[in-house]
Structure formats: C-alpha cells, structure tokens
Amino acid sequence: MKAQSKAQQQAAGAALSAKRGDTNVSELEGASKDMYDSMSEDELEEMASTSHDEID
C-alpha cells in the first residue's frame, strides 16, 4: 500500500521506527499509533518508502 500523502508517509515512518525498536511506542500518537497496532513491519516499510514523486 502506498502513502496517499506526505503526512501519511511520515506517520508510517514513525510507526515503523517503533516496530523496529528505535522509538518507544509510548511516543506514538494518532495515526502512527493506529498504524503501529494494525500494520505489519513490511506494510509500514512499503508505505514509508513511497517516493515523494508518487504522492500528489
């Protein structure tokens, strides 16, 4: 799944960081917390790595 906006891409990046243990889960808020809870690391990686050219 590709990010639909830069904000969505950033939220996925924050959630991915927490999944990998680089960020504390308690630091997540809003969309990034929801993504952390509902998406796999692979899904988050794909969304966070969406090229800026692909986002309108």
- Domain extent listing, the chain: 6-54
Radius of gyration of the chain (CA): 10
Structure tokens, 37: 């809870």
pTM for the model: 0.87
- Strand positions, DSSP E, 1-56: none
Q: Which residue has the tokens 């990034």?
A: 32
Structure tokens, 21: 């243990």
| Residue 56: pLDDT over 60 | no
For the stretch 1-48, pLDDT in tens is 888 899 999 999 999 999 999 999 999 999 999 999 999 999 999 999
E strand or H helix at 12, and its extent? helix 6-19
Query: What is the Cα–Cα distance from 51 to 26, expressed in whole angstroms?
Result: 28
